[in-house]
Chain A
Amino acid sequence: MAKKMLEGLKVADFTTVIAGPVITKPLAAYGATVLKIEGRNHLDLFRQGMVPPVGTDFPGPFNPWANRNPAGAFYNTGKLSISLNLAKAKGREIAKQFIMWADIVVENFAGGAMKRMGLGYEELKEIKPDLIMLSSCMQGQTGPHASHPGYGTQLVNLAGLSSIAGWPDREPAGIGPYTDYVAPRHSLVAILAALDYRRRTGKGQYIDMSQFESGLQLMAPLLLETATTGRVSEREGNYNPLAAPHGAYPCLPTRTDRYCVIAIYTDEEWKNFCYAMGNPEWTESPKFSTLQARRDNEEELDKLVEEWTIQFLPEDVVRRLREAEVWAGVLDNRDEWLNHQPQIKRQSPYTAPHGIYRCHPEYRWCAIAVTNDEEWQSFCRVIGDPAWTKESRFSTLHGRQENVEEMDRLIAEWTSSHTAEDVMAMMQAAGVAAGVLQTGEDLMEKDPQMAHRHFYWELQHPEIGRYRGVAPSFVFHEFPYELQRAPLMGEHNEYALKEFLGMSDEEIEELIREGVLE
């Protein structure tokens, strides 16, 4: 095999869980020597029994399976491991020697922990001026929240990412430790750029990575929106952006499950709606004169509309509104309406159809996104040009957006009689973006593109057995990488101490005796 890209690059890796190990994993794949410096004293969560090993029951509070956590094996492919007791001065001294050996130090303790161990950047810089060191923690190394520990699964709440994930009428959809896959990319770019800077100037660099601030880069357009307009955009799931008022409003008899559904799309409809309500004074307010204004003041608007609908039976509301040429419907159960709301609309105001459609069998889904009229024509041909596609309410983008619920229902009638794979293939053959909602099984066993890119690597682990790691997501056609299994805890104690620090057998034996090696 050709010489690997990063051969000769040395990394002292103090990281645990996901956000840290994911930084150094690609470096190992491209040939860097990455030494994971771990120990029982700062045991990686993924050396513990958070994830039960294959064929066992949940392992309980503390476990003997340091090497069998599949997540640990997944996030540490290609690294070496030394188990060092950092609670002992000697352990910290050896850690310092590995830092001297390394080009790059990466750690993700809670802010300030390295400093307390005498391994802070300022100290290390004195003895190794060209050191490149990255500290990644929740909220950065400075400021009042610096030392607050945490995990990405919780941080997504602070970083606003939860607030934009899910349905507006429910709690945020769980997005897992989302930031754990964002900060490592920023970290890697900074580390690799720092290597170039060091080559040119001889200077090192300290990179203070706040996973909070890194995650906010994704929120940038929305933060600018709030900074300039004051508006806060939150998760929109089923929400329809083109209508306000829009929703199910309670009717008589009170405290029953009887509702009417109202959707006001245009200013013309708004005027008609106001007329149907008898033009109450509040409808004159500039707060409600445009769609944007109505959306901005939606909460207030909904309350006022509700005060009106609650005085009538739903049938009466619908009759009055239809007379005024405003669309409305009767509902016997609020959940029924919420559950029949089709797909994800608000997310792309530029396109329709756009969403996730149920296929055959019913637990399979396919995403379809039509982005212009030409694609709409192609889409119609694929589904056999049914008569409804010719109706005026579906023939333009505006019409489709206005009648999106009905359209999505009609589309789902077609998709649900085909497999997700067939829907994707037929749409793609006609030039329409579509993608199967893939599971782990789809990606690992069936997706020909992932196989073509050799994304999953089959590895053999002495304790876990066969498992698969993932390659970096970019490919250099001329420069291969290689994935190797993750190390057992302390597997390379002797190797690293001898080869990297030049220690003798006697010295190593003493370290074992003193409990410095664990």
Chain B
Amino acid sequence: MLDLIAAFFIASGTVFFVAGTVGLLRFPDIFCRLHALTKADGLGLALIALGVGLLAGTPGEIFRIALVWSALAVASATCSHLVARYALRSGMEGRDD
């Protein structure tokens, strides 16, 4: 039962990653792409970490998975902000067409 729930979480996390990748490839400008990518990073990784955490044996492992997730969430948000900030500063506009 626990395996099934974990598999469900991991599978839905993967769906977010696939959607994020499609968005990265298909969206017109850098801001839309960042929007797609951060959703995949944030929610997709959270779901996968939840699934893997359910499968993990010891509390130490669960703690480390949570730590990895939180570090990645903060880093990914900061990176996206830096990319968007650089794009905005160097005069890149969102595309209207």
The yes or no verdict on A and B being binding partners is: no
